[in-house]
Chain A
């Protein structure tokens, strides 16, 4: 099936360090969603971005949608051990179908 690479695939940080994952599409997106999956768990919705250049914040998490609506990023400020998990972007090209990225696995050491 179709998937899009997220970068990085894996990142290990010390607690308190920042973390960023990027999602890139070759086509213009209708919207993009971000999900978090804890180890052994299932994906949980975090946020949806719709507008060009949109920036949304949830506590220490900052989500951005690119001006061209082809890329997005998730930035975590001052990571905590509770941030451990895999972060997936879900790209909607307008056909009511989400194509998930390959995910970025985050490991946070205390």
Chain B
């Protein structure tokens, strides 16, 4: 069974440029998460989807970040324009459903973003 797929694995851009990350969750997983992980820190939630609905985007900096999960399967996270402080690893995770009592999250390999 394939795990969570993310692309690209690495991205280097100049500040003020746009960037997009793609995630394909495990088949059948209704819940999809985007996290940001800075070096030496734990993952911080940016947005959580239940199917195609964004149910928690309180931590998403909406002035420059946007996300979509149009068909309730794969998802795209975009930053426009990128700033130096956005350099981090962007992790995607999925789970069967956050309403379940047992809610193991499966993480993808992440996209390491470097903003110059």
Interface residues in chain A, defined as those with a beta carbon under 8 Å from any beta carbon in chain B: 1-3, 31, 33, 41-45, 48, 50, 88, 90, 92, 96-103, 105
Q: Contact between A1 and B104 (Cβ–Cβ < 8 Å)?
A: no
Assess whether B108 is in contact with A48, with CB atoms less than 8 Å apart. no
Stretch at the interface among B14-22, B42-50, B63-71, B72-80: B42-50
Q: Is the CB of A1 within 8 A of B44?
A: yes
A45 & B42 in contact (Cβ 8 Å cutoff): no
Pick the contact of A100: B43, B56, B103 (CB < 8 A).
Answer: B43
Q: How far is the CA of A92 from the CA of B43 in the complex (A)?
A: 14
CA distance A98 to B106 in the complex (A): 13
Is B105 touching A42 in the complex (CB atoms < 8 A)?
no
A55 CB to nearest B CB, Å: 18
Most B-side CB within 10 Å, residue of A42, A43, A50: A42
Pair count A-B, CB < 8 A = 58
Supposing A1-B59, A42-B91, A50-B101 touch, asked if A97 and B45 sit within 8 A by C-beta, the answer is yes
Q: Is the interface of A mostly helix, strand, loop or mixed?
A: strand
On whether the beta carbons of B104 and A45 are closer than 8 Å, the reply is: yes
A45 (CB) vs chain B CBs: closest residue: B104
Other A-B pairs, 8, CB within 8 Å; known A97-B48, A103-B42: A1-B36, A33-B104, A33-B105, A42-B107, A90-B105, A96-B103, A98-B105, A102-B41
Given contacts A1-B59, A96-B98, A97-B56, contact A45 B45 (CB under 8 A): no
Residue B110 lies at the interface, judged by CB distance under 8 Å to chain A: yes
Residues of the A chain whose Cβ atoms lie less than 8 Å from the Cβ of B59: 1
Among B40, B42, B102, the most chain A Cβ lie within 10 Å of the Cβ of B42
Q: What B residues does A48 contact at CB under 8 A?
A: 102-104
Distance, CA A90 to CA B102, complexed state (A): 13
**Closest Cβ of chain B: how far from A86's Cβ, in Å?**
8
Which 7 A/B pairs are nearest by Cβ-Cβ distance? A100-B42, A1-B44, A96-B98, A42-B107, A45-B104, A43-B107, A88-B42
